[in-house]
Amino acid sequence: MTKLNELLEKYAKLIVRVGANVQKDQRVLITSSTDNNQFARLIVKEAYKAGAKEVSLSWYDDEIALMSAVSQDIKTYQEVPNYLVEMFKHYKDEEFAHIHIVSENPGLFKDVDSNKLMARRRSRKEKLSFFDDFMMSNGSQWTIAAVPNPVWAMKVFPDSESVEAAMIKLWDAILQACHVTTDNDPVVEWEKHNKALRKHNQLLNDHNFKYLHFKNSLGTDLTVELIKDHVWLGGAEKSQKGVFFNANVPTEETFTMPYKFGTQGKVVATKPLNYEGKLIEDFYLVFKDGKVIEYDAKKEKVALESLLNTDEGSKYIGEIALISHNSPISKMNILFYETLFDENASCHMALGKAYPINIKGGSDMEMETLEALGYNNSVNHVDFMFGSCDMEIIGEKESGEKVKIFHKGNFII
């Protein structure tokens, strides 16, 4: 067995056992690109080893997706057939564990009309929101992990002497970010990693801050009010049935829920945002009473506008996440052009839908109750990065007491 094959088997085991934590007699859904069918087989093999009752595959193909986007009229493109709705009802009712294998293709949809992409996204989210709500409330385990492809690899490592060399470099970077090495057991490694993340969560929960104030030399000067009874989470989460899982492989973040109407000031993005196959670069947002009132971008401003105009909730944030600038992924100094990795190198926030798990008792609340408390609901949940090496974060408690959380980009509490 080659070194890479051995590492990929470890990686697949990590995704199944720690990421989704597939349980005995549980059904499993794997979403994967057709280009990654070999790795998908490793996932299937590991899922059955873990005792899965049934493993189902949902395939996608980027080139075919692009053909459809270009060739179909907007009415056809945004249709959501009943069979698809029924399929996702089945996934929800049977409490499938969901493993999503992403394989980025940055800029794939750069020449497709943003309004067309927005219409499809909105219609699919509206018809399938019941499934998104179920998964974002941790109704069952889910995880996202990544596999490289040649286009993505050359985007990340454009100076590579060949596509094969770029693929090797990207595989190395992904495995390093996920703590998978030839001489370790990544399952054991992640037990230690989750323990460290729980420590940060506990410290922040104990402080119970009302506000966070972010400031750096790039122009970010932002105050984020946190929702009452918020909960900081990160690393391993727990499903509604009490099964621990890691939603993101890798992960370095600790995150919580902002109060919908409590964000004020300006935030400047520090990494490009790959949204609907378009790379939005060098952008900023200005908030008043939680809502984006001003924005600009040097590249793909129309895509940013499309994101913000998807629905009313897309103009508000639903997540704020803290990651030290000296985190392992940040130290790699690689721009992955994939949020799964780039968000774990930098503090970030998400435009759109909040996670009900980030408020005490939120998973058991009706949407109307959550929204009355200041929960942001949307068809979107789009993360973007704004952390920097000089980020200063000060937390303010209900009493007015202020505590410095970050100094020069890193946790100091």
Which is nearest to 155 in space by CA: 106, 204, 213, 122? 106
pLDDT of 283: 98
Q: Are 79 and 12 in contact (CB under 8 A)?
A: no
pLDDT for 157-191, tens place per residue? Answer: 999 999 999 999 999 999 999 999 999 999 999 99
Nearest alpha carbon to residue 184 among 6, 354, 339, 55: 6
Q: How far is CA 266 from CA 179, 205, 207, in A?
A: 35, 26, 25
CB 409: neighbour CB atoms within 10 A? 21
**Residue 46, pLDDT score:** 98
The pLDDT score that the predictor gives to residue 8 is 97
Tell me, what's the pLDDT at 107? 83
Please check the confidence at residue 91 and state whether its pLDDT lies above 70: yes
CB burial readout 200-228, b (16+ within 10 A) else e: bbeebeebebbbbbbbbebebebbbbbbe
Spatial neighbors of 366 by CB under 8 A, at least 6 apart, are none
- Burial class (CB within 10 angstroms; exposed 0-12, middle 13-18, buried 19+) of 192: exposed
Per residue in 239-280, pLDDT tens? 999 999 999 999 999 999 999 999 999 999 999 998 887 889
Instruction: State pLDDT tens for residues 1-32.
Output: 478 899 999 999 999 999 999 999 999 999 99
Q: What percent of the chain has pLDDT over 90?
A: 91
pLDDT given for residue 115 in this prediction: 86
Report pLDDT for 106. 84
With both helix axes pointing from N to C terminus, report the angle between 301-308 and 114-127 in degrees, rounded to the nearest 10: 30
- DSSP letters, 101-157, are EE---TTTTTTS-HHHHHHHHHHHHHHTHHHHHHHHTTSS-EEEEE---HHHHHHH-
What domains does the chain contain, in order, with CATH numbers? 3-177 (3.40.1830.10), 206-231+252-411 (no CATH)
Question: Would you state the structure tokens that stand for residue 9, as one six-digit string?
Answer: 């088997």
pLDDT at 34: 95
